[in-house]
Chain A
């Protein structure tokens, strides 16, 4: 079921070799596969139809450039169009108004409104230094108010208490008044989950909106939502002037086609994605990454970008120069690689960006940041001389290092093995041959070689 588009297309592509242009006939089968892949990713059918028609139009007559075959060229078009449809660039919150700026949260039951409210408050408070007040208008679900109170306490964000006997509109207005008097920059109003077909509840949130006049009205939607995402999004979009969308639970293995459906139906940008159970797990939405995910292509492109951005170019150049001159690749260099990897978000961050199948395989091997920490700890316990000349390391030095890093001698040996493999790889690299290096890559991460 998780066949990715690239895989799906390989069969079709074989028949397309050696053709210079994308034509109606040579992309028909490929387009069918695109349609299937999108449906498997839970993009709603009407959206899929519209989208494939659009892709066809964009692709027809396009030249197949360079070494690409028509199938690959088509994937390129699909990816580009998908990104375009997702909104091209990230759009942040617009909080420019007389404080308090009100953010109203809306969505179905269980979409993740309360958790997202907490995460958003935390984000605004730490990243933008805003003074935030949280209030819950959910007087229906038992302990919903208590849930937000607990979250606010954990996050050290101000919380406006409310109770079940009050009307949601009264609670919201009282909170607004309180926020004004206490100079809060932002008031986040959490609401009860509601079905779009529940007229009474939809009226209630319309009223909330009318009284509060929020600067942001965010529709919270679960990334695992299926075909019905279009109906729900339409109903909420019709009832409320939405300003954006929060896509939650993206750390699961859902392909998240709902993102495309919701974006298409509401026409509003997806502003944030929930990517972790942790309270810091709210990130800006990247349309390009989402396009890759929906297509099952992984986030290889932004991985490359990130590598460019985060890796210290000067350090990398120094290393390359050293390797080229034939000077040894030593443990200092090894440590530097680890530090750079950490800059790119650690192992977990890297895995997130790989295509689904690859990252699952890699996750199975249980490489984690703890192991990376341990490696760094061991290297830190070595003297500069030892780092530069690992062959100095004999039994007694290893014992000292193990004791210093709080590990077993076994772990020091493991590290040295990995280092030797990497060293060999570097030698291959200096003798030319990227292909050889890729083969050697397996040994680079602890546990990956299995």
Chain B
């Protein structure tokens, strides 16, 4: 009955990586169990069941707006398909959620430019620097050469964090003793051009969207990158913590307004947070989700696949 989900999940999961979907699922399912038990009994579709479903969406940070949309969608679906059994409702909700999230599943194609410059931004503690490490590994595994720019010149030891990481993994890190993020990244882009590097990953300091002067500064960083290499940066990634609630939506809007965000990275999905905020973003301000972070290991950053995400969120492969 869940054929559409099972098939795609199997397709997109290469051999030897079966652990990660399990991990994502077990992470996502940790709070849960609630959903499986809802449907386990079969039985009739009634208001109580709808309310329980609504609860599941709300407690996953899907948000009121997207939840209302999904519930209306689900009710229409049930009416049109003449569903009567509670067990069918799970697949129906999965289909609704998938329809909402599918447009966000656009993998990052970093082949169009050389160097392909990726700039990361986000609030404090979202996981930018850690994601850069994982992204570097991801591109290295594809046989690409990577260069890192230590553009977080504000937080204490952010530069050291990136340099330590670079040393351990044999990746060049461009950094300066102090000073200006734009200048560091400018240097890095020029160095990458000179050395024939494939991918430049530019770190920036964490900032809250309410800090007008810092948002102004990051606009400047982007402008300066374009001076080093016209049409760079080729990708602006906003890093979002899966633990974040509805504020992730304001973050997405604010950073998009400032920089033109082209992709999202959803981190820390290996905890109990479900990352339902992605659905709220899909509804209100859709931007492709490029990667999700599902663990602390270097290989734990994966491309976002809507089917897998829905399956994990609704615990669909459990039955």
Binding site for B on A (CB under 8 A): 1-2, 36, 39-42, 44-45, 108-112, 115, 141-144, 146-151, 154, 195-197, 222, 224-229, 231-232, 235, 249, 251-255, 257-258, 277, 363, 366
Contact = CB atoms under 8 A, between A and B. Distances in A.
B172 interface: no
Interface string B39-80: 000000000000000010011110111000000000000000
- Interface-central residue, B59, B163, B164, B248, by most chain A CB under 10 Å: B59
B288 interface: no
A45 B125 contact: no
A146 B123 CA distance: 21
Contacts of B163: 143
B208 A252 contact: yes
Given A45-B55, A150-B156, A195 B123 contact: no
B317 interface: no
Query: Which applies to chain A's interface (DSSP): helix, strand, loop or mixed?
Result: loop
Contacts of B58: 39, 45, 227
Interface of B: 27, 30-31, 55, 58-61, 63-65, 123-127, 130, 154-158, 160-165, 168, 208-212, 241, 243-250, 268, 270-274, 277, 284
10 contacts: A110-B125, A141-B161, A142-B162, A146-B160, A147-B157, A195-B271, A222-B125, A226-B277, A255-B246, A257-B245
Contacts of A227: 58-61, 245, 273
Contacts of A225: 243-245
Nearest to B54: A45
A143 B244 contact: no
Give 8 closest A-B pairs by Cβ, nearest first. A226-B245, A110-B125, A42-B245, A150-B156, A147-B157, A143-B161, A254-B247, A143-B160
Contacts of B272: 195-197, 228, 231-232, 235
- Interface-central residue, B126, B157, B249, by most chain A CB under 10 Å: B157
A348 to B, nearest CB: 11
Contact of A110 (B165, B268, B277): B268
Given A228-B273, A363-B210, 12 more contacts: A39-B58, A143-B164, A154-B156, A222-B125, A222-B243, A222-B244, A226-B61, A226-B244, A227-B61, A227-B245, A249-B123, A366-B212
A363 B284 CA distance: 24
B124 A110 contact: yes
A252 B156 contact: no
A111 B125 contact: yes
A142 B161 contact: yes
